[in-house]
Structure 1
Amino acid sequence: MTDHLPINNPVLVFAIVATLILLAPIVMGRWRLPGMIGLLLAGAILGPNALGVLARDQSFVLFGTVGLLYIMFTAALEIDMAVLKRYRLHSVAFGLLTFSIPIGIGLFVARVLLGFDWPAAILLASTFSSHTLLTYPIASRLGITRNQAVTTAVGGTIITDTLALLVLAVIASSTRGEVDDLFWYRLAFSLAVYVGAILIGLPIVARWFFRNVAHDGVAQFVFVLATVFAIAALSHVAGSEPIVGAFLAGLAFNRLIPHHGTLMNRIQFTGEALFIPFFLLSVGMLLDLGIFLGGLRAWLVAIAMVVTILVTKWLAAEATRPVLGYSRDQARLVFGLSLPQAAATLAAVMVGYDLGLFDDTVVNGAILTILVSCVVAPVMVDRHGRALALAAAAEPAEVAVAPQRIVVACSTTAAARPLLELAVLIRDPAQQQPVFPLTVVEESAHSAADVAQAERTLAAVVGQLSAAEVPAQPVTRIAFNTATGILHARRELRGSEVVIGWRGRATPHELFFGSTVEQLLRDRHYTLVLARLTEPLNTCRRILLALPPHAEREEGFAAALAIVKRLAQQLGAPVTLFAQQAGDERLHAAMQRIKPVAELRPAPLARWADVMATLRAQHADGDLVVVYGVRPGGLAAEAVGAALPHRVAEQLHAAGLLVIYAAEPHPQDEPVVDTGEAAEPGGAPIRWA
């Protein structure tokens, strides 16, 4: 039987791996354990050092390396930059804690207890300070990635890993005799150029590519994938490691890939379904229990390394409670995120082995440390992350609002795509409400043919929502004119927002008989969003919000501002507020309390009449202008505000523009009854005669 092992048939190997990826979460779920533990154990049992069913060949090494870089990339990609900026000191503090405590205690263990000389002791101690965000996907699935504890752990990772890898570079160079007077200057210069090129140059190149070249999801995905791994491959030139390059690439792409967009969904799906499981299997295959039969020294080194990493990472995480004021669950979550050892640890140990600083016992001790940490950490993140998620779900909402049901008016497939992208970005995923693509067919003798064409249009746009995992309920409406059809459908669907495309100018027919927008504004009980999108939304740099006087006193202001802040959060773009009242600290504090979190930058105006001149002066390439629309008779109604959308459209003709007319809720609204017909994407169209 052993003549047939390990299995070399690539088709059979992939079938076995796919089966393991499928069964591991199911089997581990019966014991309430994360599925990644099952993959680690499967790799250890089926690997070359146990049953020998699977060989850790180049395919496992390749996909495993890709999986590790994917973890670092997606962790940086999902960071809420507004939260990170607010808690940046937390990240620095934890990064220094989780570096200094393990390396300090680890140096004592390596030098005194294990008897290593100074270069080997320092290098071994540095391996205890680094960690890999292996358990980040668990936090992502629990929906707690915006918790400040998660953001702190992710931000601290790049600090401690960079410091640990610098120690590795210095020890390796000093052992080879390469450290001279110019060494530190060369290292600092290469790292500065490398980091600057990624964080400054990459966003410029990527924004140009998304605007001018990538017109479909496949091209965007391949561009991101190629860029990330090219940056990771160049890390050695700068004296760093690929995991640092992948993390920096994620930070650079953060503002260009919306967190709930189609591209993000494709990136996460590919990693979690293929690359990350391969990495877990490849790590499990490294364990060789046979070395422990070689004597007491192997046991002593392995136990010392495992205990040191567990104790020091626990102490660093516990220090966040008195230092940063974190709760017990938050500290345990930080511990689970910062415990796993993988790439940096293995890289440092293998370099030490090649230089003659370490022997086989240290290599196997590192592998056992990786396995133990990768088994303990998922349990901690799952348990305490779930507790935080449940506690957040139990918190009462600050303001009771009706369910968000977005209706998107679709005329053609090409015109509908940017509007649906906007709807996905302003949608609150926590409410799990569908998006309603709506096509209105005007009553005529050819209505039947027009309805068929409308349904083909809706079928095409529903695929866009399905790719982003957003439930859709397509609607076809027959009416005498477009505005009447939209209003009737909105009432019957109990839509909270209606998104329509807008040219920014009126036709001669609309000037005489009244525009569609004027007819839509007759219904005051929903939020109307007019969109003139001239560039892809993910290339937006800033949001310029023009807020007329007294707008904050209107009933629908909070819901309208929540739309802007949600859009800003998804795009990672700051909101610059142009208003007379922008300098009011109480107003600023009140606006900050409206969720979600976004960066608000007040830009007070001396007079509201100067808003157009200020927008012209401040507008730059990549800015999205958002105007708070003035409804007739509202508190914010005045001449300048009413004419502002048309003036912006005419004078900033190349700018992306949104006009948001806030709803005026009325107490007679009945609760929305969800029929459940839109539970899955791509439902059958609804038609009213």
Structure 2
Amino acid sequence: MGDLLPIKDPVLVFALVATLILLAPIVMGRWRLPGMIGLLLAGAVLGPNALGVLARDQSFVLFGTVGLLYIMFSAALEIDMAVLKRYRLHSVVFGLLTFSIPMSIGLVVARYLLAFDWPAAILLASTFASHTLLTYPIASRLGITRNKAVTTAVGGTIVTDTLALLILAVIASMTRGEVDELFWYRLGISLALYVGAILIGLPLLARWFFRSVGRDGVAEFVFVLATVFGVAALSHLAGSEPIVGAFLAGLALNRLIPHHSTLMNRIQFTGEAVFVPFFLLSVGMLLDLRVFLGGPRAWIVAFAMVVTVIGTKWLAAEATRPLLRYSRDQARVVFGLSVPQAAATLAATIVGYDIGLFDDAVVNGAILMILTSCFLAPIVVDRHGRALALTEEAAVPEEAGPPQRLLVACSTPASARPLLELAVLMRDPAQGQPIYPVTVVTDGEDAGDAVARAESALARAGTQLAAAEVPAQPVTRIDLNIASGLLGVRRDLRGTAIVVGWRGRTTPHELFFGTMLEHLLRDRHYALVVARLVEPLNTCRRVVAVLPPNAEHEDGFRAAMGFIKKLAQQIGASLLIVSPQDSEGRVKAAVQAAKPEMEFRMQGQERWTALKRGVIGLAADGDLMVVYGVREGGLAWDPVTATLAPRIAEKLPNANVLALYPPEPRDDGNEPL
């Protein structure tokens, strides 16, 4: 057996790991336990300290470290920045609570119960204060990541982990005799430069890359990986740890990677399928029960560490109920997110062991603490997260209306790609409806060849949507003209919105905003989105919505503002509303009433006739201009309104421009978009 175990064949090792990743959720699901618990147990049983089937070699260390950083990066990437901004005080309060309570109680336990000297006691107490967002993927799958409790727990992570890691740096430097008069200045300046470079410099670099280079999905994904791990690798130069760098990188890239984009799907899939499972297996392999056979001290240290971390993290989470007015389920979810120990705990324990502050009992106590917390946390988050998700679902009444069905006019693969990206951002994932890429072939002698070319182009569109895990149903139609074909498909499929593009030439009014647009607008019961997209939408910094006089009285105004606010949220952009000054109050109230909730600014124009000049003067690099379109006969329609979108597009040739024509409600009051 000594020659056969541990398994050394890399192909067989990977096959075994893949099997464990596959079976863990299935087996644990029979006991209604999260799959990650199965991976932790598998690592402990098959690892070098038990059966010895798998060795914790460099491959497991490498992929485990990558998985840990991936968890921190993904957690920051999925934060709703608008919710985080709204509840930033909650994050700071909880961050201080989950640091100070474990730190103070842990210091008493380490100093007076376990009889450590002061440096070792302070360092051990800091391991109780930190935590790792190991259970965040569970919250993500349950769809509660935008709940204020989850956002608070995630935001508090950076506070408590940064403070804990600062204590690690100070204690280690003091033990090595490196603390002098300049130590604090060097530490403060290096951290400030590091954080500033990430939060300011990384978004600029990423925006440039997505605009200039990253039109290919693989290139975008590799760029994200390279920047995140590059930033994490530089953390030691600033006196920090890689997990802090990975978290900050996620915050920096948050606005540039929409939550429902193809790139986000690739990031989540890679982490959940490969990196995070390797991390769980590598953590399980650390447990060595033989240490506990050496005497009672190992048991006392381990028991004290496990009880202290669970008790203090529970107290910190419970404190959110009276202080932040959280419900029981919210407080339990906060506890489940903040109790797992991994990255900072391992870092502090290993450093403390290397410099002589900790012995083997503390190291194995830390490993047992990690395993216990990682076993308990998924159960808590899964149970109370489900209850929280059901509560949120019951609190939001379903709006009556037809299912959302988006049609995208595709002529060539190059022109269709940005339109499909826009449709993915418009789509409501909760409804599970597909997107319909549509190509209309004009009837003629060569219609057969044109249909074959159209089907080939639509196959590429389906591939693009499949990469974002969005179902697609391509449609090819032969008709007299494009407008008639699109309207025919819309009626057949009961489509709620059509996304079309125009080429953005020097005379867009003549080329597009003529008879074709008039024909498309004859059907008043669907939303028409006309898009001229010259840059990736995720690089837009601001959405500028231009509203004509009396737009707030239009029947489709609420649906239109809901679309604009959702789009701004998806791409992480701020929202500026430009409207006539005399109706600014009414417009503001109407925009606030439209869901979802988000902050926005108003910019009033004294004269409607000067609106075009005012909008062009307000335009800046990275703006997405959205013009509220009005169908002829509407309260807000006039000849100037009809030509506003093409004029803005002509004056701003390098800007993304959308003309949005909302639907008019049917007799049943439905406003699909």
TM-score (normalised: structure 1): 0.95
Match of 1:19 in 2: 19
Residue 20 of structure 1 aligns with an amino acid whose one-letter code is L
Structure 1 window deviating more from structure 2 (157-166 vs 661-670): it is 661-670
Match of 1:422 in 2: 422
Segments of structure 1 that go 5 or more residues without pairing to the other structure are: 673-689
- Structure 1, residues 251-271: CA drift from partner, whole Å, max 9, x if none? 111111111111111111111
- CA spacing shift, 1:8–1:513, aligned 2, 3 Å: closer
Report whether the alignment pairs 1:663 with 2:663.
Answer: yes
Q: Please list, as runs of the form range in 1=range in 2, the aligned pairs for 1:369-448 lying within 5 A after superposition.
A: 369-397=369-397, 399-448=399-448
- Structure 1, residues 344-375: CA drift from partner, whole Å, max 9, x if none? 00100111111111100000000000000000
2-structure distance, mates of 1:396, 1:570: 20
2-structure distance, mates of 1:64, 1:399: 44
**How big is the shift at 1:483?**
0.6
- CA spacing shift, 1:408–1:49, aligned 2, 3 Å: same
What is the DSSP-based 3-state SS (H/G/I as helix, E as strand, rest coil) of the residue aligned with 2:642? helix
Report whether the alignment pairs 1:519 with 2:513.
Answer: no
Match of 1:588 in 2: 588
Match of 2:270 in 1: 270
Q: Please list, as runs of the form range in 1=range in 2, the aligned pairs for 1:327-338 lying within 5 A after superposition.
A: 327-338=327-338
Structure 1 window deviating more from structure 2 (548-557 vs 267-276): it is 548-557
Residue 496 of structure 2 aligns with an amino acid whose one-letter code is S
Match of 1:676 in 2: none
Aligned length: 672
- CA spacing shift, 1:244–1:511, aligned 2, 3 Å: closer
Report whether the alignment pairs 1:324 with 2:324.
Answer: yes
2-structure distance, mates of 1:231, 1:576: 33
Q: Please list, as runs of the form range in 1=range in 2, the aligned pairs for 1:446-457 lying within 5 A after superposition.
A: 446-457=446-457
Segments of structure 2 that go 5 or more residues without pairing to the other structure are: none
Structure 1 window deviating more from structure 2 (266-275 vs 496-505): it is 496-505
Q: Please list, as runs of the form range in 1=range in 2, the aligned pairs for 1:545-560 lying within 5 A after superposition.
A: 545-560=545-560
2-structure distance, mates of 1:637, 1:609: 14
**How big is the shift at 1:465?**
0.3
What is the DSSP-based 3-state SS (H/G/I as helix, E as strand, rest coil) of the residue aligned with 1:254? helix
2-structure distance, mates of 1:671, 1:655: 29
Residue 326 of structure 2 aligns with an amino acid whose one-letter code is Y
What is the DSSP-based 3-state SS (H/G/I as helix, E as strand, rest coil) of the residue aligned with 2:408? strand
Structure 1 window deviating more from structure 2 (142-151 vs 20-29): it is 142-151
Match of 1:31 in 2: 31
Q: Is the 8 A contact 1:582 1:603 kept in 2?
A: no
What is the DSSP-based 3-state SS (H/G/I as helix, E as strand, rest coil) of the residue aligned with 1:4? coil
Q: Please list, as runs of the form range in 1=range in 2, the aligned pairs for 1:631-642 lying within 5 A after superposition.
A: 631-642=631-642
**How big is the shift at 1:613?**
2.0
- Structure 1, residues 530-561: CA drift from partner, whole Å, max 9, x if none? 00001011111111111122222222112211
2-structure distance, mates of 1:46, 1:527: 57
Q: Is the 8 A contact 2:129 2:164 kept in 1?
A: yes
1-structure distance, mates of 2:668, 2:100: 61
Give the root-mean-square deviation of aligned CA atoms: 1.9
2-structure distance, mates of 1:279, 1:508: 54
- CA spacing shift, 1:226–1:76, aligned 2, 3 Å: same
Report whether the alignment pairs 1:302 with 2:288.
Answer: no
Match of 2:565 in 1: 565
Residue 341 of structure 2 aligns with an amino acid whose one-letter code is Q
Match of 1:458 in 2: 458
**How big is the shift at 1:103?**
0.2
Match of 1:5 in 2: 5
Match of 1:290 in 2: 290
1-structure distance, mates of 2:466, 2:497: 20
Residue 234 of structure 2 aligns with an amino acid whose one-letter code is L
- Structure 1, residues 45-75: CA drift from partner, whole Å, max 9, x if none? 0001111110000000000000000000010
What is the DSSP-based 3-state SS (H/G/I as helix, E as strand, rest coil) of the residue aligned with 2:3? helix
2-structure distance, mates of 1:246, 1:149: 22
Residue 149 of structure 1 aligns with an amino acid whose one-letter code is A
Match of 2:93 in 1: 93
Match of 2:256 in 1: 256
Match of 2:577 in 1: 577
2-structure distance, mates of 1:513, 1:658: 13
- CA spacing shift, 1:583–1:327, aligned 2, 3 Å: farther
Q: Is the 8 A contact 2:556 2:671 kept in 1?
A: no
Match of 1:645 in 2: 645
- Structure 1, residues 125-176: CA drift from partner, whole Å, max 9, x if none? 0110100000000011111111111111111000100000001111111111
**How big is the shift at 1:478?**
1.0
2-structure distance, mates of 1:434, 1:513: 28
2-structure distance, mates of 1:122, 1:290: 28
2-structure distance, mates of 1:595, 1:289: 54
2-structure distance, mates of 1:53, 1:414: 51
Residue 181 of structure 2 aligns with an amino acid whose one-letter code is D
Residue 630 of structure 2 aligns with an amino acid whose one-letter code is V
Identity of aligned residues (%): 72
What is the DSSP-based 3-state SS (H/G/I as helix, E as strand, rest coil) of the residue aligned with 2:187? helix
What is the DSSP-based 3-state SS (H/G/I as helix, E as strand, rest coil) of the residue aligned with 1:394? helix
Q: Is the 8 A contact 2:558 2:590 kept in 1?
A: no
What is the DSSP-based 3-state SS (H/G/I as helix, E as strand, rest coil) of the residue aligned with 1:3? coil
What is the DSSP-based 3-state SS (H/G/I as helix, E as strand, rest coil) of the residue aligned with 2:628? strand
